[in-house]
Homo-oligomer: A and B are copies of this chain.
Amino acid sequence: MSQRPVPPRGMRDLLPTDVRLRMALLTTLQRVYESYGFDQIETPALEEIDRLLDSEAGDNEKLIYKVMRRGLDLTGAHKTESELVDLGLRYDLTVPLARFYATHSALLPKPFRAIQTGPVWRAERPQKGRYRQFVQCDIDVIGDAGTDAEVDLVCATAEALRAVEVGEFTVRVNDRRLLQALVKSAGFSFEDTPAVLVIIDKLDKIGFESVEAELSQISAEPASALIKQLAAVVGSLTADEVAETLGNAAPSTAIADLRSICAGVVAVLPWVNIRVDATLVRGQGYYTGSIFEVEHDDLSGSLAGGGRYDKMIAKLSGVDVAAVGFSIGFERLFDIVSQRAATPNGQARVVLLYSDETDYISVATAAQGLRNANFSVRPEQSAKNRTSQLTRLERAGFTHWTELRNGSLNEPQQFAQ
């Protein structure tokens, strides 16, 4: 145990001001998602370790917090990991959702629209702004193979982001089938496609030249052909422009889906800035069709991301069903909004000052009167230095202060804005 009492490495406590803003944000996101007919579910923090390890989550599997079996006798022979461990903390909300769907599908509407907001755990190397316990906000549509689901997901996410006043953002959409077709028509083999996509995913960070250099290490001629196609299509911002630029290389199903997603979103929410980006990859290996991402000026990475993962639930649970999801990076959202917002909600919070000679019954009943007038009230003894006390309280987010003096209560005064 560390000498100073602190949270475990890479984890953090949340102080009242942060909790207040986080709760307000979460509540707003949930309210918008619900207005789109999505339903909240919850799963336990723990899942069986084999399920977490079987989920093809790549690097995330190495980051799992593993839980020891209870009642183990450690005095006996040497134990293997599977003898020691039976459970693990979830590292995302998608594996639990797939398991949830397999458990309860008989009870759920078809298609099922799920909201999940909750903590996940990854033992990543701690660094600034990245924590080992963090919150994800996912919406998913299970059992709808058409683009209706994508329209609802993008609209709900865009409305949710607008509701928390995050500022300007852009939705980029693409389709894995389009990417795969480009990779294939450039001359790469089917087996190389995943590795090629991982390299293209670095375009935003390292640029065309470095991406071509890396692709050439797989195969030189296809690398050059692919880079030409990508450079040509980077300015095509609609499905029609992409189709025109790429010609036969673009599969008509993917183009049709991109067209109907963009048209649907703009028909419902004309203010949404949505564009096709044929170079968008998204990291995860499990995507099968549409992919999308929200871009925000305050971030180098994405604010939200998602896509279609039609094969994944079958792999995890044996139930073969279409699925598509969109996830807001809650910690990133919090970082952006906390820089902007001063007061997360309109609730008036008053400090009730009293001297140490005052009987607490009169303090508590005066506080009750203020609560009945819709204040949140914190009773606090008057400090000798009134000015520094009030400054501290204003910084702590109180909107008003008042004083109980000789049994009578002053009108609450608002702190200067």
A interface residues (Cβ-Cβ under 8 A, vs B) = 1-2, 4-8, 11-16, 19-20, 23, 27, 30, 34-37, 39-48, 50-51, 54, 63, 65-68, 70, 74, 77-81, 84-87, 89, 99-100, 102-104, 107, 109, 113, 119, 121, 123, 133, 146-148, 151-152, 155, 260, 263-264, 267-269, 316-318, 347, 351, 360-361, 363-365, 367-368, 371, 375-380, 392, 396
Contacts and interface: CB of A to CB of B under 8 A. Distances in A.
Copies of this chain in its oligomeric complex: 2
B44 A7 contact: yes
B48 A360 contact: no
Contacts of A102: 5
Contact of A50 (B1, B12, B14, B81): B1
Given A48-B8, A364-B152, A378 B268 contact: no
Contact of A8 (B6, B47, B317): B47
Nearest to A46: B8
Nearest to A264: B361
Nearest to A102: B5
Interface residues of A, dominant DSSP: mixed
Contact of A15 (B2, B45, B104, B371): B104
Nearest to A51: B1
Nearest to A397: B39
Contacts of A121: 45-46
Contacts of A46: 8, 11, 65, 121, 133
22 contacts: A5-B318, A6-B103, A7-B44, A11-B44, A13-B100, A14-B41, A15-B107, A16-B40, A19-B41, A19-B42, A23-B30, A34-B376, A44-B133, A45-B45, A63-B70, A70-B123, A77-B78, A148-B379, A151-B361, A152-B364, A155-B364, A264-B364
Nearest to A317: B5
A80 B74 CA distance: 7
B263 A361 contact: yes
A121 to B, nearest CB: 8
B65 A87 contact: yes
